[in-house]
């Protein structure tokens, strides 16, 4: 089965929703200024623009009743026949994030001074950048030098985070004792390719690691299990 989701349109907040939770990276979890709701027009936190999922189940053609080895004796078939392979491949674009962490330039005095947003630098695009763990987005596109008396003009969710690519596989077989009882063996391989999937970059401008990625989301894991079904 293949599913391809179309590009999701940019979402905006309803005017009536004055206490909308904009996430922990936003000042006071509310709008920067309730008089300017349009300032929060931007990408949704969960706006994954493209996503592909491919899943498959394949019975290996060995053993009784299958293409190869249909005449295997019971002992040989118990070990070589009846195996099944499964796989799930996922690939998607990243989530959106908001830079923060400057002084209280607007003199809001709301206890969230460190959550205020920076200014955009003219001619620079924060979505551009090396796209490496050392500098994921264009940090030169943002400045903490916001003039006194106003909010920073960096919008909500203007930084696109890393995408995600993953392949999980499984191999399993049932060992039958009689019509009711069977022992199921399963081997599962998560992120079998050990593909690096990065976490979100550091978004706080006062952090010396601003723009860097310090964590990964997945690593190869192998799991073996036995289940008695009766």
- Indicate the domain borders of the chain: 2-8+19-229
- The pLDDT tens digits for 209-222 are 999 999 999 899 99
- Alpha carbon of residue 107 to chain centroid: 35
- The pLDDT tens digits for 132-173 are 999 999 999 999 888 887 888 888 889 999 999 999 999 999
Q: What pLDDT, on a 0 to 100 scale, did the predictor assign at position 25?
A: 46
- Alpha carbon of residue 13 to chain centroid: 23
Write out residues in the chain with pLDDT < 50, as ranges. Answer: 1-20, 23-28, 111
Q: Is 206 exposed, middle or buried (0-12, 13-18, 19+ CB in 10 A)?
A: exposed
């Amino acid at each position: 089965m293949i599913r391809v989701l179309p590009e999701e349109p940019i979402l905006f907040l309803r005017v009536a929703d004055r206490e909308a939770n904009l996430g922990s990276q936003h000042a006071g979890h509310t709008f920067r200024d309730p008089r300017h709701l349009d300032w929060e027009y931007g990408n949704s936190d969960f706006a994954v623009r493209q996503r592909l999922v491919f899943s498959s189940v394949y019975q290996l053609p060995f053993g009784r009743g299958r293409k190869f080895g249909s005449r295997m004796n019971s002992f040989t078939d118990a070990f070589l026949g009846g195996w099944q392979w499964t796989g799930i491949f996922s690939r998607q674009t990243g989530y959106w994030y908001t830079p923060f962490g400057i002084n209280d330039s607007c003199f809001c005095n709301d206890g969230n001074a460190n959550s205020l947003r920076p200014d955009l630098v003219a001619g620079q695009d924060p979505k551009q950048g090396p796209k490496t763990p050392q500098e994921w987005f264009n940090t030169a596109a943002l400045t903490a030098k916001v003039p006194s008396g106003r909010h920073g003009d960096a919008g909500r969710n203007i930084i696109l985070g890393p995408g995600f690519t993953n392949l999980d596989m499984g191999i399993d077989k049932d060992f039958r004792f009689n019509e009711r009882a069977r022992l199921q063996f399963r081997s599962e391989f998560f992120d079998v390719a050990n593909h690096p999937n990065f976490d979100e970059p550091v978004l706080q401008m006062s952090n010396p690691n601003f723009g860097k990625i310090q964590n990964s989301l997945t690593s190869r894991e192998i799991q073996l299990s036995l289940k008695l079904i009766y």
